[in-house]
Structure 1
Amino acid sequence: MASEHTNNQTVPMTETESIAYDVVVLGAGPVGENVADRARAAGLSTAVVESELVGGECSYWACMPSKALLRPVIARADARHVPGLSQAVQGPLDVPAVLAHRDYYTSQWKDDGQVGWLDGIGAVLYRGHGRLAGPRKVTVDGPDGERQVLTARHAVAVCTGTRALLPDLPGLDQVRPWTSREATSAHEVPGRLIVVGGGVVAVEMATAWQAFGSQVTVLVRGKGLLPRMEPFAGELVAESLKEAGADVRTGTSVTAVTREGSTVVALTDTGDRIEADEILFATGRVPRTGDLGLDTIGLEPGSWLDVDDSLRVTGSDWLYAVGDVNHRALLTHQGKYQARIAGAAIAARAAGVPLLETDPWGAHSATADHGAVPQVVFTDPEAAAVGLSLAEAERAGLRVRAVDVDMSSVAGAGLYADGYRGKARMVVDTNREILVGLTLVGPGVGELIHSATIAIAGEVPISRLWHAVPSYPTVSEVWLRLLEMYRDA
């Protein structure tokens, strides 16, 4: 039966109930949880609606399980380049132990802890599928077909995220393809795995399953991997995948798939026939807004939702779209950042307090979405970027200069890993003399990117960065090399 959770009690819902809250949140992933947390902290009564597991995609099928799978892979790769340690880590990974650790971090796909957290902040959880039913109204259809009607006094926040996009290919329905969900939750290692796509999910899952013993074939329609980063990022990751035994084919599209017994067969536009045990399509994401009742308020079902910098949907004074559904940055950390902004904006408007709209870096403006978005790709080597690539900066009409550094020239890099391979690119707006982009590729660079995020978000002048002295001998000394090259050129 559909139910309301409050103080760990389950209260049956009836069809005739209609309950008003200050804020109704659709989706209980990290984004929805943070909107609810900020709203409750401001004293607003808050309901959260979730049709799957509280904690969302990130907790059970994306960030947490994928990083749990990848951590031993990357740690072993790093250790193999440390003299005195390399011989101790030449054997295969203990895959059952890795999968068990992954299961621990997903709480065995149970959400009791997350439900308890929602209870702890005072939010009320409704299990079921939530849909808009006109302005400020939400219906919740529970698992037993019962319906609950909720009314929002101030705001409804759509935090329903995205789902995997599968291409329209002949034979796909019969193949039972993997998406990111199956790739992060599988309990058996396929002998052969085809990965279709060249983005983050594709390269991370290719890295993991190749290390677990699969023979991985990566099929990329474009020219290379990680197309949204600087070109050298994808080049270095592809080189490493090939060295690990993966077959990486660019300029290749899948035209049809079929399953012959237990074997998947993919046909390509290059005339190849590729056989595997499983096939993963990592070819993009679409918003979970198709069955959300958007048509009841004049919006297109299945569409991305356009928002202003307070995350309020364009043309509305009560509807907010936070996280992936607004298509600003499909990243958990950025969605949680937006949630904090949205929560503050909802609370301010509910209290009649003017928003700080004249301050682009104020509490009510998601300014970082426009130029200070960081991302880490957990491959071997890691790739990390924040801000604009050189091409993006040039398309934006900025007068920029790029500085490249071979990270093997950094003393700390050689100590981190024997034969360290990596590259860094700094993109500087020469009119303002500030950093607008940084890309790093190499072992351990994921832990370096936040310093660049601070520099970009803070618009720190290059002249001031010169006085931020990196510790010796650490990989962060790459900052000194970049600034020296910029100064001396």
Structure 2
Amino acid sequence: MSQVASSETSRDYDVVVIGAGPVGENVADRTRAAGLSTVIVESELIGGECSYWACEPSKALLRPVLARADARRVPGLAKAAAGPLDVAAVLAHRDEMTFHWDDGNQVKWLESVSVDLVRGHARLDGPQRVSVTTPQGDTVLLSARHAVALCTGTTTALPDLPGLDTTRHWTSREATGADHVPGRLAVVGGGVVAAEMATAWQALGSQVTLLVRGDGLLHRMEPFAGELVTEGLREAGADVRLGVTVTAVKRHGGDDGEVAITLDDGSDLVADEILFATGRIPNTSDVGLHSVGLTPGDWLTVDDSCQVTAVSDGWLYAVGDVNRRALLTHQGKYQARIAGAAIVARAKGGQVHTDRWGPHTATADAAAVPQVVFVDPEVASVGLTTHEAQQSGRRIDVVDYDLARVSGAHQYAQGYQGRARILIDADQRTVAGATFVGPGVGELLYSATVAIVSEVPLERLWHAVPAFPTISEVWLRFLETHRG
């Protein structure tokens, strides 16, 4: 592997990958391992959003919070866990998990798999061509014999608010990378980022006010998930306000002054920092889409091998969040494995398998998308929600169970509170969806994912015996409840 020097103005490769986050890294790894010469282009840190500003730092902040919450429910530990978190230690751990925002180890990994690296801003420059503006202001032209893979992810979607453009504010990056605990933090949004960051900073010492435009948190999940998370945040001391919209913001006294927030109900709120967790937009506004007939700023529509459908000759791929199929790191990496295999097969003149379970066909990013929300109580879901099942027209049996009635839950925590639901396809007699809310439920998710993806018949699930006493015993209780 080599870092392409600015003086090398033009180079040819089999594959050019734009974006060196986990998705781009996985595409490059697959194509290079199959013998295709591959270069990856990145304008920021190798490792991408997940490694430095999203998954890794956010979970580093949340892990001590959730561990303390669990310990407080365990006899013999509750008193020891009653005190405040060591904020300096938590932030130091976060810094270690991000390698102090240094990508040296990731560069070494690229070297180990013989993928070339160009640092700079990449733009498509017509079919199978990429122009890179380096940090030094030079231009490097890259040509792709077989494929270009756009793995540029997303960026924060900000609302059109009076005063926002002149007000220093937090996005998810500042929320995960902050070096101080704000006394008062306003969080705008009701999705995963909003819920997780509200959980983290309230526990770290902020007085959090969560401003949710809709009537509940986590609106893409089962309603009971958002209800239980709202209760948990309020019990932790956060002020959760539902059905409110921010209409204006202004920071008084310079960048370090207070933020005045105006709400649509006529009330005002003052905070030290304001975090906007109001959705994501594709990072495609300045990647040269116009040069291949596409609209800058658009999501990119792809087929099941992640080929962009609107570009002829099949050379352009869009992998990960940028194609909007499933905005999750693990799903993007899954797509990367599919796309990498498809690129290799097409480059070598082999057969591209587009059947349902073929190695070149992405299906899990639509049929069974697992997700954990690291809040208190924890939320884990995969497959359809009840609303989605109803919209699909399938005949669905809804099976609910109180997790507090599972023996393993009593071992996990005193006064355990949680709820679980599975959806059963009444015709196929298989699991179509699952949602779990409660301490420690994230570890239930893979079993649910396997059941859905493998379409395991209920009759077979009876023979998958859960260990006693664990929370996974809920699977037996589901089957018993459904059988009646």
Instruction: Determine if the alignment matches structure 1 residue 14 to structure 2 residue 11.
Output: no
Q: What's the RMSD between the two structures over aligned residues?
A: 0.8
Instruction: Determine if the alignment matches structure 1 residue 199 to structure 2 residue 191.
Output: yes
Distance in structure 1 (CA, Å) of the matches to 2:168 and 2:432: 43
- State the partner residue of 1:110: 102
- State the partner residue of 2:480: 484
Cα shift at 1:270: 1.0
Instruction: Determine if the alignment matches structure 1 residue 235 to structure 2 residue 227.
Output: yes
Instruction: Determine if the alignment matches structure 1 residue 447 to structure 2 residue 438.
Output: no
SS at match of 2:213: coil
Distance in structure 2 (CA, Å) of the matches to 1:216 and 1:283: 16
Distance in structure 2 (CA, Å) of the matches to 1:27 and 1:370: 23
Matching of residues 56-75 of structure 1 within 5 Å: 56-75=48-67
Distance in structure 1 (CA, Å) of the matches to 2:214 and 2:414: 33
1:335 to 332, 335, 345: 332
Unaligned residue ranges in structure 1 (runs of 5+)? none
Residues 312 and 215 of structure 1: is their aligned pair in 2 closer, same or farther, counting only changes over 3 Å?
same
- State the partner residue of 2:423: 427
Instruction: Determine if the alignment matches structure 1 residue 345 to structure 2 residue 342.
Output: yes
SS at match of 2:459: helix
- State the partner residue of 2:463: 467
SS at match of 1:301: coil
2:320 to 304, 319, 323: 323
Paired AA for residue 383 in structure 1: V
1:407 to 369, 391, 403: 403
TM-score scaled to structure 1, two decimals? 0.97
Cα shift at 1:174: 2.1
Identity of aligned residues (%): 66
SS at match of 2:410: helix
Distance in structure 2 (CA, Å) of the matches to 1:221 and 1:276: 18
List per-residue Cα deviations over 1:432-483 (Å, max 9, x = no partner). 1110100000000011101000111111111111110100000000111111
- State the partner residue of 2:297: 302
Unaligned residue ranges in structure 2 (runs of 5+)? none
Matching of residues 329-408 of structure 1 within 5 Å: 329-357=326-354, 359-408=355-404
List per-residue Cα deviations over 1:415-448 (Å, max 9, x = no partner). 1000101000101111111101000000000111
List per-residue Cα deviations over 1:94-137 (Å, max 9, x = no partner). 00000000000000001000011011111000000000000000
1:211 to 188, 196, 203: 203
Distance in structure 2 (CA, Å) of the matches to 1:19 and 1:79: 56
2:16 to 24, 29, 44: 24
SS at match of 2:250: strand
Asked if the contact 2:404/2:410 (under 8 Å) is kept, the reply is yes
- State the partner residue of 1:154: 146
List per-residue Cα deviations over 1:261-291 (Å, max 9, x = no partner). 2100110001110000000000000010000
- State the partner residue of 2:275: 280
List per-residue Cα deviations over 1:180-235 (Å, max 9, x = no partner). 00000000000000000010000000000000010000000001000000000000
Aligned residues: 479
- State the partner residue of 2:261: 266
SS at match of 1:320: strand
1:136 to 128, 135, 154: 128
Distance in structure 2 (CA, Å) of the matches to 1:394 and 1:228: 14
TM-score scaled to structure 2, two decimals? 0.98
Cα shift at 1:295: 0.4
Paired AA for residue 319 in structure 1: L
Distance in structure 1 (CA, Å) of the matches to 2:114 and 2:480: 53
SS at match of 1:12: coil
Give 4+ residue runs of structure 1 displaced > 6 Å after superposition.
none
